[in-house]
Amino acid sequence: MNYLIDRFGRKITYIRFSVTSRCNFNCMYCVSHIDEGKKTEEFTKDDMAFLFRTVSELGIEKVRITGGEPLLRKDIIDIVRSASINENINEIVLTTNGSLLRQFAQPLKDVGLTRVNISLDTLRREVFEEITQRDFFENVMDGVSASINAGLTPLKINTVLMKGINEEDVIPIAELSLKYPVVVRFIELMPVGNNGFWKDHYMSFTEALDIIKSKYELNVGKGAKGEVADYYEIVGSEGKIGFITPVSQHFCDTCNRIRITAMGKIYPCLFSNESIDIWDAVKLQDSDELIKLIEQSVKIKPAAHGVIKKDDKQFIKNMKELGG
Residues 130 and 152 sit within 8 Å (Cβ to Cβ): no
Helix axis angle, 205-213 to 170-179, nearest 10°: 60
Give the one residue of 187, 229, 281, 298 binding ligand SAM; rule: CB under 6 A: 187
Nearer to ligand SF4, 69 or 142 (CB): 69
DSSP letter, residue 316: B
User: By beta-carbon distance, which residue lies closest to ligand SAM?
Assistant: 324
Closest distance of CB 120 from ligand SF4, Å: 10
Closest distance of CB 208 from ligand SAM, Å: 13
Nearer to ligand SAM, 134 or 292 (CB): 134
Quickly count: other Cβ atoms within 10 Å of residue 312's Cβ: 13
Q: Tell whether omega for the bond before 191 is within 30 degrees of 0, i.e. cis.
A: no
Q: What is the residue-wise DSSP string for 107-165?
A: HHHHTT--EEEEE---S-HHHHHHHHSS--HHHHHHHHHHHHHHT--S-EEEEEE-TTT
Contact track, ligand SAM, 81-110, x by CB under 6 A = --------------xxx-------------
Residue 82, contacted partner among ligand SAM, ligand SF4, none, CB below 5-8 A by kind: none
Nearer to ligand SF4, 18 or 86 (CB): 18
Q: Can you tell me the distance from the alpha carbon of 212 to that of 215, in angstroms, rounded to the nearest whole number?
A: 6
Nearer to ligand SF4, 212 or 319 (CB): 319
- Provide the terminal-to-terminal Cα distance of the chain, rounded to the nearest Å: 29
Closest distance of CB 19 from ligand SAM, Å: 10
Residues that bind ligand SAM (CB under 6 A): 23, 29-30, 66-67, 69, 95-97, 119, 158, 160, 187, 189-190, 192, 319-320, 323-324
